[in-house]
């Protein structure tokens, strides 16, 4: 399907890129995100830098998680630094499951970053050694002794 879309709409790529620039300047992030998702199928020259610039600036209202995904799918090398910067910023607050950081590291892997760990530099987030001591009122030490945590 990707090949069919690209072949039928070859002239649409530059137009979508112009629309992305316009909606970005206007701060219409909902429309920007829709156009960015469409542009992924018509990847016009210059799409990576446009998406990376918006991600780096992180204006209020933009969905950074979607931009991280799009940059990964596009395999845009321009996305390495803004994605890595987000990981560095969020690694201490993204826990305990680190869903955003995992998604960002996956995007860096898709881009083909030679050393994702170097891109994200600094130490990994501290994961607490002890988990919750109880669940729904049942002490953890009693789990597995005939009592259920729920």
* pLDDT at site 140: 45
Question: Looking at 29-38, 63-72, 92-101, which range is the least confident one?
Answer: 92-101
Domain assignment present for 54: yes
Q: Round to whole Å and give the CA distance between 30 and 61.
A: 8
User: Which structural domain, as residue segments, surrounds residue 44?
Assistant: 2-124
Answer for the pair 139, 133: CB distance below 8 angstroms, yes or no: yes
Domain assignment present for 145: no
As given in the structure block, the two tokens for residue 148 are 């259920």
Work out the average pLDDT over 48-61: 96
Q: How many domains does the chain have?
A: 1
Q: Model pTM?
A: 0.71
């Amino acid at each position: 399907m990707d090949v069919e879309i690209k072949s039928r709409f070859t002239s649409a790529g530059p137009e979508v890129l112009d629309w992305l620039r316009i909606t970005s300047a206007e701060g219409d992030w909902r429309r920007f995100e829709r156009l960015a998702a469409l542009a992924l199928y018509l990847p016009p020259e210059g799409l990576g830098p446009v998406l990376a610039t918006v991600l780096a600036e992180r204006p209020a209202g933009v969905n950074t998680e979607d931009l991280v995904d799009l940059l990964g799918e596009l395999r845009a090398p321009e996305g390495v630094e803004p994605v890595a910067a987000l990981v560095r910023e969020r690694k201490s607050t993204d826990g305990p499951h680190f869903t955003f950081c995992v998604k960002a590291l996956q995007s860096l892997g898709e881009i083909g970053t030679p050393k994702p760990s170097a891109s994200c530099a600094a130490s990994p987030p501290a994961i607490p050694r002890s988990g919750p001591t109880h669940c729904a009122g049942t002490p953890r030490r009693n789990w597995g002794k005939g009592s259920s945590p729920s």
